[in-house]
């Protein structure tokens, strides 16, 4: 009940922030984004400025952030569903940036416009996660804004024999107790990604866990897998930031991190510039965030114009790769000619495009994903 009241209050706040700008034909585009503060900064300080300077229609932007993690996307879903249930014919979110986890509910409730066929960039929407999200067919309803990838960050002064596989990593952890750190499954997705990848490796069930069909019998292996994982002599961190901080302070030598945060911290001088990245065999998961257009967006034409701007090869290169250090959401071949040499060096010096293609895994189907996290907590 407390959760419902809190979520309802936050939805009301979003209503309030958007209400003044909501009317069909308005020049203001309401953009609501899930994610950390950097997601709001991307829309306001990086992409937003370029959009405002370039659009001839005189559009303005009203950007609202709903918070990090899946909860941020849940608030956007709740907001749109409330307007649908109230019978409103014009909704006051024009463009939304959401996680994979919410796509199933949004699709089932009919909250999204199938806008990709109308996009100027439709020919570049080619990646598997632009067609399928955690086992859900989303083809036509979303374009990945970027692809985040988890990799192992490590201090090469301390890790001379870099693990190439999970077998190597388990041996390294046992040989170097407490020097590997991750955050379990709380306070950030890098630890969830590591736990998921460990389960993929130990079970050998990646293809079915990621692509279906759902079979609960596969989960019978998980208690033993989780016990083995939790028996390893690791250091538990407070989240992705904490893993990087502890590496910087020399308290640990290696741990799973989001590649984009690792690169941005190095770029800002917040992380030892000698630290390196590695995706070990058989791979680690990553995930996109999606650009979606609500079905009854009040400013549909303006929404499509901004979605096109966000997902164009030029903005993908300048904002997503060069400024944010993220892998592009659309076909990389269309983006790379516009990426600076510094951007290419920063993003692909440790992790090649081939590494990403072969060892960048998906998270499991929604049902498996929820149960996997519960299995970790129970065992």
| Residue range 333-371, pLDDT digits in tens | 899 899 999 888 888 889 887 788 789 898 999 889 889
Residue 378: per-residue pLDDT: 94
| Residue range 249-303, pLDDT digits in tens | 999 999 999 998 898 888 889 999 999 999 999 999 998 999 999 999 999 999 9
Residue 19: per-residue pLDDT: 47
Measured in degrees and rounded to the nearest 5, phi and psi for residue 170 equal -60, -40
Does residue 333 sit in helix, strand or coil? helix
| Stronger pLDDT, 304 or 38, i.e. the higher one | 304
The percent of residues in the chain predicted with pLDDT above 90, rounded, is 69
Cβ pair 344, 336 in contact under 8 A: yes
| Region of residue 8 (phi > 0: left; psi between -120 and 50: alpha; otherwise: beta) | alpha
With a cut of 60, say whether residue 231 has pLDDT above it. yes
User: Where does the pLDDT of residue 1 fall: very low under 50, low under 70, confident under 90, or very high at 90 and above?
Assistant: very low
Residue 355: per-residue pLDDT: 86
Which residues are bridge partners to 138 per DSSP? none
With a cut of 60, say whether residue 81 has pLDDT above it. yes
User: Tokens standing for 241?
Assistant: 């930031």
Q: CA 342, CA 321: separation in Å to the nearest integer? A: 10
CA 139 to chain centroid, in Å, comes to 18
Long-range contacts of 115-122 (CB under 8 A, 24+ apart): 115/140, 115/141, 115/292, 115/293, 115/304, 115/307, 116/140, 116/141, 116/142, 116/143, 118/304, 119/143, 119/304, 119/307, 119/308, 119/311, 120/308, 120/312, 121/308, 121/311, 121/312, 121/313, 121/330
Residue 3: per-residue pLDDT: 39
Average pLDDT, the chain: 90
Question: Which ranges in the chain belong to alpha helices (H)?
Answer: 2-19, 37-41, 48-54, 69-85, 103-108, 166-175, 189-203, 206-211, 222-230, 240-248, 259-267, 300-310, 313-315, 332-335, 341-348, 353-359, 366-378
Residue 9: per-residue pLDDT: 52
Q: CA 248, CA 363: separation in Å to the nearest integer? A: 28
Residue 11: per-residue pLDDT: 52
Cβ pair 183, 240 in contact under 8 A: yes
**From 12-21, 58-67, 69-78, 186-195, the region with the lowest mean pLDDT:** 12-21
């Amino acid at each position: 009940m407390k959760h419902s009241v809190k979520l309802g209050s936050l939805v009301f706040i979003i209503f309030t922030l958007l209400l003044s700008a909501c009317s069909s034909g308005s020049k203001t585009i309401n953009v609501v984004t899930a994610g950390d503060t950097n997601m709001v900064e991307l829309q306001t300080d990086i992409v937003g400025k370029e959009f405002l300077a370039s659009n001839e229609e005189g559009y303005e932007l009203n950007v609202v952030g709903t918070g990090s993690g899946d909860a941020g996307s849940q608030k956007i879903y709740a907001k749109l569903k409330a307007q649908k249930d109230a019978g409103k014919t014009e909704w006051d979110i024009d463009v939304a940036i959401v996680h994979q986890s919410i796509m199933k509910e949004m699709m089932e409730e009919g909250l999204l416009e199938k806008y990709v066929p109308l996009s100027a960039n439709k020919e570049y929407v080619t990646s598997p996660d632009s067609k399928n999200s955690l086992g859900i067919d989303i083809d036509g309803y979303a374009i990945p804004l970027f692809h985040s990838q988890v990799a192992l960050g490590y201090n090469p002064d301390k890790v001379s024999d870099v693990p190439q596989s999970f077998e190597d990593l388990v041996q390294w952890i046992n040989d170097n107790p407490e020097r590997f750190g991750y955050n379990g499954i709380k306070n950030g997705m890098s630890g969830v990604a590591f736990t998921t990848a460990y389960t993929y490796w130990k079970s050998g069930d990646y293809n079915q866990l990621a692509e279906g069909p759902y079979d609960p019998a596969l989960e019978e292996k998980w208690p033993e897998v989780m016990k083995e994982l939790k028996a390893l002599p690791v250091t538990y961190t407070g989240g992705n930031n904490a893993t990087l901080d502890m590496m910087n302070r020399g308290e640990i030598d290696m741990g799973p991190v989001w590649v984009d945060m690792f690169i941005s911290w190095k770029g800002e001088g917040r992380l030892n510039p000698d630290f390196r990245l590695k995706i070990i065999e058989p791979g680690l998961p990553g995930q996109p965030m999606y650009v979606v257009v609500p079905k009854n967006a009040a400013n549909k034409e303006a929404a499509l114009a901004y979605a096109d701007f966000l997902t164009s090869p030029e903005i993908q290169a300048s904002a997503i790769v060069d400024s944010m250090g993220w892998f592009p959401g659309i076909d990389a071949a269309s983006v790379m000619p516009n990426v600076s040499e510094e951007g290419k060096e920063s993003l692909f010096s440790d992790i090649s495009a081939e590494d990403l293609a072969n060892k960048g895994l998906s998270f499991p189907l929604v049902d498996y994903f929820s149960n996997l996290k519960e299995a970790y907590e129970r065992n």
